[in-house]
Amino acid sequence: MKTPWWIAPCLLFVAALLQAAFFPALGLVRARPELVVTAVAIWAVLRGVREALPWAFIGGLLLDLFSQGPFGTAALALVIVAFCSSVGEASVFRTNFLLPTVIVFWASVLYGVIYLFLLRTHQMPVDWIGTLRHSVVPSALLSTACAPIVYWLLSRVERKTRSIVPVEW
Amino acid sequence: MRAGSALRAITNSASPSPLVWLALFVALSIGVTLADSQRLLDVPRDLVMRLLAPVQSGVNRVGNTLRGVTSGWNEVGQLREENAALRRTVEELLQETVNLRAAELENRELRDQLRYARANPSRTLVPAEVIGLDSSALLGYAVINRGAEAGLQAGMTVQTTGGLIGRVVSNTATTSRILLANHPSSAVNARIQNNPGATGQVLGQPDGRLVMRYIPQAELVKVNDVVVTSGLGGAFPANVPIGRVAHVEVRDVELFQRAVIEPFVNFDKLRQVIVDTGFVPPRL
């Protein structure tokens, strides 16, 4: 039931690259789909916390790399989000795309809040209300819109990798 | 002792509890943050960015091309209006050019008379391309494809031919991170071009607008007044255009008035920028 080690870095690299370079070029600047958060949250629902945490850590480091923000900040926020998202693993509705979609929305909001909090601990000025209104919530809605596609893709990956002999994290 | 027990729990148990995994990855993330704050990750990060910058640039170009294709369909009507507006602007600019030439001649004479050494106008400008914006949209950074190798340093001013964009806050050998002027954590000392007494601070807003605050109540500020950097504080050179006054808010009960500024630069469509490498803010 474990995934080959190279799947997560490859998928997350593509997601982070789209998020950092492709979406801004399309004009999605202040709010854009958080593809990495979406992928991690859905993987947490599909495969549980043990597989989602390494995804979260790797995805967070990639986001930190592209954003050139304080290194480890996005990783820490995403690890916590992955842990919280894994509550969906226990649900009987986890194979229906609606549950992961709802979880993606709240995961994106939670990620934004934790990330802003961590920025504040780095002594960076944070406008909580404005940033939540103009960036975090719109980004969460866009992530939710993308969630069915990401879910479809990841559930295919999940099915194909189900029988592969694992490499332990 | 507790750390030792946690480590044993991870190594001895074939399937430790999720909380142990969480603690492990939280500790790893904090460890990375601490290592970064000690600048231990600068070299590997620089190496990775050196490899990734061309990829990021390529993906960005694909996005720009796609955007150009799709937006072309919707822009015909907009282009007509823009064309008419541009014609009017050209006429205004022609008039302005004539006035500026006259002012330049007068300025030269005055400088000669007062025997002031002409300020060295040779600004060293480095062109650069925006290859990405921060991946989370929360930090308000742009990333450009020039870094320390091109002579860029933290604090240098970044602008387009139209106006101010922001300043360099950090860099690697081949890329630099720009704090955009329209981000809430950005503050630029500014003044109204035609009224040197009307100084204030241009602050970014969460919705991407610019607002000029702390303008003395006694100063007259009008819609369409041009706002430029004041040079006060030494963080930016003086007279870099920022935008035009779109709306003025005056309240009798307040000490200062405030103005909403329409920036000359469209921060959502940044592509080519210029970095003024001749201006490095003094360290106070």
Q: Is pLDDT of A2 > 80? A: no
- Does A98 map to a domain? yes
From CA A116, how far away is CA A128, in angstroms rounded? 8
Asked whether residue A91 is assigned to any structural domain, the reply reads yes
Residue A136 CA to residue A121 CA, distance in Å, equals 18
**ipTM of this predicted structure:** 0.84
The single-letter code of the amino acid at A149 is: I
Closest CA to B126 of B57, B182, B186, B174: B174
Count the alpha carbons within 13 Å of B181 in the hemisphere toward its beta carbon.
34
Q: Which of A33-37, A63-67, A99-103, B116-120 has the highest mean pLDDT?
A: A33-37
All residues of chain A having their beta carbon less than 8 Å from the beta carbon of residue B173 are: none
B35 and A71 within 8 Å at the Cβ level: the answer is yes
Residue B214 in this model has a pLDDT that exceeds 70: yes
**pLDDT over 90 percentage in chain B:** 30
A14 at interface of B, judged by CB pairs closer than 8 A: no
- Residue in B closest to A111 by C-alpha: B136
pLDDT of amino acid B261: 95
**Per-residue pLDDT tens over the stretch B186-204:** 999 999 998 888 999 999 9
Q: Tell me, yes or no, whether A22 lies in a domain.
A: no
Q: Looking at the predicted structure, is the pLDDT value of residue B119 above 50?
A: no
| pLDDT band (50, 70, 90) for residue B7 | very low
Which residue in the set B49, B131, B269 is minimally distant from A21, CB to CB?
Answer: B131
Q: Please check the confidence at residue A164 and state whether its pLDDT lies above 70.
A: no
Counting the structural domains of chain A, the total is 1
Judge contact between B183 and B140, C-beta under 8 A. Answer: yes
Tell me, yes or no, if the pTM score tops 0.80: no
> B56 to chain A: nearest residue by CA?
A21
Q: Hey, is the C-beta of A63 within 8 angstroms of any chain B C-beta? A: yes
Q: Residues A146-150: what's their mean pLDDT?
A: 93
Q: Looking at the predicted structure, is the pLDDT value of residue B115 above 50?
A: no
Flag whether A63 is in a domain: yes
Tell me which DSSP letter residue A136 carries.
I
Residue B82 confidence class, pLDDT cut points 50, 70, 90: confident
Judged by average pLDDT, the poorest of A14-23, A37-46, B124-133, B215-224 is B124-133
pLDDT digits (tens, 9 = 90+) for B130-146: 888 876 667 778 999 89
At residue B252 the predicted structure's pLDDT band, cuts being 50, 70 and 90, is confident
Owning domain of residue A43:
33-160
Any A CB within 8 A of B269 CB: yes
Name which of A29, A73, A117 to mutate to probe chain B: the one with the most chain B Cβ atoms within 10 A of its Cβ: A29
- A11: in domain: no
How many Cα atoms sit within 13 Å of B242 on the Cβ side?
A: 37
